[in-house]
Amino acid sequence: MPRWGMVIDLNKCTGCGECVAACKVENNVAIVGPEESANERTMLWMNILTTYEGEYPDVKVRHMPMLCMHCENPPCTKVCPVRATYLNEDGIVAQVFPQCIGCRYCQAACPYTVKSFNWYKPEWPEEMKKAVNPDVSVRPDGVVEKCTFCIHRLQKAKEQAAAEKRELQPGDYIPACVECCPTKAIYFGDFDDPKSEVNKLKRNPRAFQVLEDLGTEPKVYYLSEVE
Amino acid sequence: MKTKRIFLIGILMLASLAIAFVNADKRNIQPIAYNHNKHVEENDMECLDCHVYAEENAQASIPNIEDCIVCHEEAVTESESESTLLSYIQENKVIPWRQVYVVPDYAYFSHRRHVKLGELDCTICHGDVGRFAEPISEPFVEPVMDWCMDCHEEKNVSNDCYACHR
């Protein structure tokens, strides 16, 4: 079975936010107003973590796209009382929305704080209602949601490959953020495939995982910036 | 005592009338009294002749005037339903068919996956629809998860939540 994973090259990332926008549109992630956003209720499956180093005028800005790390040893799945979140056979940390009871244990357990809770029934402005992606469900209020590595794309890619009577090829399935990145800073592939690009990149000396000492074994690797 | 009995009989009659009304309403949910039996059994048509995308797409598609016009450019029979269809065609209006099988948006159901790749017969989910003379008013089986999962287990295909949910 494949183990889907991601490598993000921070040297190439300009922090433009294209991945954030692509993710939000692709996955029908709800829009919350500025007031709710100020209450830390922003809904984002992918976010850019921006840090500032130094004092003006010698400021160094660093950007780091943060998303669900799809850990091999996920802390969130262990606390879910209803198995709405679990590590599935493709190595993706699943979040099954109709199963979720909204207890938010998983949100509290996630050390990367990448899970969002639907405080309200999602609503879109009139002009955007017809732009909702039909391949992805619109979550009701009271459920936790997070990046699914665009699982609907995997479902379709698997079906297409089966219809063409072939195995899934590299590039058949890529999430929206990877497809949209203008500097091609995000790589995606199967970590179990020894020939895959992500497999080579994760062995790069620049590669690191976020909070790797926690032992969660994230499947999102970063290539550190070179000064 | 007598008034009580009359009152009870009255209530019962009203209830049965209401049920009959609801049932009649249920049967008449389609804009045209489409007869599957006439098309499939009597005229040897295949499901795919009208539901053209059943083998290629997630949705099998419900035929509309552009498909019906192939055979029904002029009246073929004297039936009332056909004249209703012809009026839709003449006015170039879309037939507002009511979709009977509804899969919730958090589930991914693909006809291609089941019909083409899984080689399942249409009758498993839709019953012997080719013999139905009445227009379809309710699903043959309620597409509930237990039913899907039993079949997946039987056919040895993935029962992972993400095989269907999204």
Domains belonging to chain A, first-starting first, are 4-223 (3.30.70.20)
Residue B85 resides in a domain: no
Q: Check residue B1 and give its pLDDT.
A: 57
What DSSP state is assigned to residue A168? P
Residue B78 resides in a domain: no
- Split at pLDDT 50, 70, 90, the class of B143 is confident
- Split at pLDDT 50, 70, 90, the class of B74 is confident
- Split at pLDDT 50, 70, 90, the class of B20 is low
B109 shares its domain with B150: yes
Write the pLDDT tens digit of every residue in A170-196: 899 999 999 999 999 999 999 999 999
ipTM: 0.83
Write the pLDDT tens digit of every residue in B22-52: 555 555 788 999 999 999 998 999 999 999 9
B48 shares its domain with B105: yes
- Would the CB atoms of A162 and B160 count as touching at under 8 Å? no
Residue B152 resides in a domain: yes
Domains in chain B, number? 2
B115 shares its domain with B154: yes
Q: Phi and psi at residue A158, in whole multiples of 5°?
A: -60, -40
Nearest to B129 by CA among B45, B36, B35: B36
Cα dihedral B130, B135, B137, B143, rounded to 10, equals 20
- Give the pLDDT mean for B69-98: 91
**For residue B16, pLDDT beyond 80:** no
What is the SS3 assignment for A64? strand
B152 shares its domain with B107: yes
Residue B18 resides in a domain: yes
| DSSP 3-state percent helix, strand, coil across chain B (nearest 5) | 50, 0, 50
- Would the CB atoms of B106 and A137 count as touching at under 8 Å? yes
Distance, CA of B101 to CA of B93 (rounded, Å): 23
Residue B3 resides in a domain: yes
Which residues of chain A lie closer than 8 angstroms to B165, CB-CB? 96-98
Write the pLDDT tens digit of every residue in A96-144: 999 999 999 999 999 999 999 999 998 888 888 888 998 999 999 999 9
- Would the CB atoms of A89 and B108 count as touching at under 8 Å? no
Q: How many H-runs (helices) and E-runs (strands) does chain A carry?
A: 7, 10
Q: Check residue B22 and give its pLDDT.
A: 53
Which residues of chain B lie closer than 8 angstroms to A135, CB-CB? 108, 166
Distance, CA of A154 to CA of A164 (rounded, Å): 15
**For residue B60, pLDDT beyond 60:** yes
- Would the CB atoms of B165 and A136 count as touching at under 8 Å? no
Q: Check residue A8 and give its pLDDT.
A: 97
B19 shares its domain with B37: no
Nearest to A8 by CA among A38, A43, A48, A39: A48
Residue B91 resides in a domain: no
- Split at pLDDT 50, 70, 90, the class of A86 is very high
Q: Check residue B23 and give its pLDDT.
A: 56
Residue B123 resides in a domain: yes
Answer whether the bond into residue A57 is a cis peptide, omega within 30°. Answer: yes
**For residue A164, pLDDT beyond 60:** yes
Average pLDDT over all residues of chain A: 94
Lowest mean pLDDT, pick from A101-110, A215-224, B6-15, B52-61: B6-15
Pairing of β A220-223 and β A60-66: unpaired
Helix spans in chain B (H): 2-27, 36-37, 47-50, 65-68, 80-90, 111, 123-126, 145-154, 161-164
**For residue B105, pLDDT beyond 90:** no
B136 shares its domain with B55: yes
B20 shares its domain with B101: no
Rg of chain B over Cα atoms, rounded to whole angstroms, equals 21
Residue B12 resides in a domain: yes
Q: Check residue B161 and give its pLDDT.
A: 92
Nearest Cβ partner of B162 from A136, A137, A151?
Answer: A151
B16 shares its domain with B39: no
B9 shares its domain with B50: no
Q: Are A36 and A160 a contacting pair, CB within 8 Å? A: no
| DSSP 3-state percent helix, strand, coil across chain A (nearest 5) | 25, 20, 55
Q: Check residue B148 and give its pLDDT.
A: 92
Average pLDDT over all residues of chain B: 86
Distance, CA of A223 to CA of A210 (rounded, Å): 11
Nearest Cβ partner of A96 from B110, B117, B165?
Answer: B165
Q: In terms of residue numbers, what domain contains B143? A: 31-62+97-164
Distance, CA of A99 to CA of A114 (rounded, Å): 19
